[in-house]
Structure 1
């Protein structure tokens, strides 16, 4: 019996080793030359990227064990009672759209942005599970997307904020890569894309405060307070960021993942005011608030960046924390009311038009509790 148990453990160790080292979902590894280039960044030191002020998640062993309790003991209302329905949009209406700037939310932090006849995807995680294997994560709250990847028309550019599984998805990139013109990422994230078959010439990596013009649009890679890594030993090997997206008449902000910090005010002072800001407010815990904002902090961040209107993101699709699934939106709405900052909470798939002052008041999420 003992020999059987030892053999089983050895088999498991070998299986995990093979999975980590050979499964494509884990992405690529920076070369020595690439690391030398990263070392010229002010955000890189001792072989890894770092936050402003070297802020880190204080996850010691005791805190780690404490964080696991919520996953072991059942927690109420962490997922919807039934599948969330989504608004459908077809490829023809996307490809023929020539109106003012609009965004379509795919849930969590994924968006399609349309402006000036261009189609831009932001953090297009379209997979069912935000993990390297379906058995390692929970399924998406909705059984379908506003439009399937295969039906999307030509995508002019894709913007990624960092390399975590709920933002950078192997399966989505494999299906998208042949219809995408250019991929924009923070430093280092391109190593995953090239590993997955994207041509290096179609990838542009930027450091914080780096800017690039793209066919009438301006993309600015701005700071965030987070971390990176897709495996066990690659923490900090790639940079994380927020993004500013500008046209001649619109100015929007995408937070990516971030804890609350002074960088929001700095971004607002340099690039604000913003017509619209997408701010992460879900998957939080006091144990890791350094790298994920609490909802009240997200509302305050909206003020810091001088946003005219904000939208809560990073919620409504996956269970990645132990809070009730609708708590993020309820808390940010309450705080935003106190701060007198407009909030819109569209349905998944519902177009968001920046040229209108209308604010969605429907609490659609209540129908799925």
Structure 2
């Protein structure tokens, strides 16, 4: 009898614990930062896309997210608890803090803000790409930035003409940053479906422009913005691929600027070059890669192949030096592309976070700043 009572008590405690965890999880996923799934007219527009099949967006090529032999649980466990050598820098990431609000409008520049966040000024237009200036995760204690890498905050931003989002992952679309910048942004440009998050967060629907691959947006004669394919996936919560992911071509009098977004290697790089011709500056992901997800992020050799496909005048690599999102050392992406650029005659530029890249100075030189941190 005593054994039965103990068993029943343990069973009740277990069921209550499971119920409490389930309730906590349900409440957690109700936080507005998880955004909203597309519906109504927005969903109807998505369904008409050739890239939307069987209720979700797809890549041109079959793209499994995970390719290794580990289970999802084992992969997550290793990521959270394995001892990764040199995953974080021992010293502060060097940076240059520019007062963006007082930057002369006539100064045409590109400024890396850390990870994949980019500020651009072109012909008086102020452009902000994938601004993650507060948090790259749904909880503050995960994905903390490296010391020295988070020198720009929403309050440092000037009024923005175009806020461009490549996809809805947390390290590219930051709820807190969007909320802080709502009164400063004139137009939001995103892939199909991502506008559902923005509208849910209070952005005026009339300010949102959602593009399919190869779709254009232009409201002035100086700058045109085109969404182009990427090989990746999307999702902020439990649902995946309900919104599109993309790179962009920004057409300007300085030539074409290419922003890759997150992407694995595929034929889209050569197709972009074929469609749009010479690329003056390519801003391409480099970091947070792993052989276990080789189709959704580029390994170092893939980055070289992509760059040779694009043959840009200058290459700036991003998606590194701010967060630990993979198992490689923090500086490995920069070391490998630097070595490869010398072997393959790639014009790699390596500005510090916050350092101005002048669009009218293609010969501008930069330090290999990570070497100073050995």
Measured against the shorter chain, the TM-score band is over 0.9
Q: Aligned pair 1:134/2:151, yes or no?
A: no
Note the alpha carbon deviations across 1:66-85, whole angstroms, 9 max, x for none: 53324322111011113324
Q: Aligned-pair distance for 1:25?
A: 0.7
Q: How many residues align?
A: 363
- Give deviations 1:16-53, integer Å, cap 9, x for gaps: 11111x20110011114432221111100000000002
Whole-angstrom CA distance in 1 between matches of 2:245 and 2:71 = 24
| 8 Å Cα contact 2:149/2:321 also seen in 1 | no
TM-score by length of 2: 0.92
Asked if residue 36 in structure 1 is aligned to residue 36 in structure 2, the reply is no
Query: Within the alignment, does 1:115 sit opposite 2:115 as a pair?
Result: no
Cα deviation for residue 61 of structure 1 reads 7.5
Contiguous gaps of at least 5 residues in structure 2: 1-8
| Conserved 8 A contact 2:254-2:280 | no
Specify the alignment match of 1:84 in structure 2: 93
Structure 1: gaps spanning 5 or more residues: none
* Residue 111 (structure 2) aligned to one of 104, 108, 117: 104
- C-alpha distance 359-327 of structure 1, shift in aligned 2 (>3 A): farther
The more displaced of 78-87 and 105-114 is: 78-87
1:220 to 221, 226, 239: 226
2:235 aligned partner? 229
Cα distance in 1, alignment partners of residues 133 and 171 from structure 2: 9
Contact kept in structure 1, 2:68 and 2:293, CA below 8 Å: no
Pairwise CA distance, 1:200:
0.4
Stretch deviating more after TM superposition (8-17 or 240-249): 8-17
Corresponding residue to 1:159 among 153, 164, 175: 164
TM-score w.r.t. length of structure 1? 0.93
SS at match of 1:15: helix
Taking the aligned partners of 1:158 and 1:318, their CA distance within structure 2 comes to 22
Larger Rg, first or second structure (1 or 2): 2
Q: Secondary structure of the equivalent of 1:266?
A: helix
Change (3 A) 1:98 1:162: same
Contact 2:37 2:196 in 1 (8 A): yes
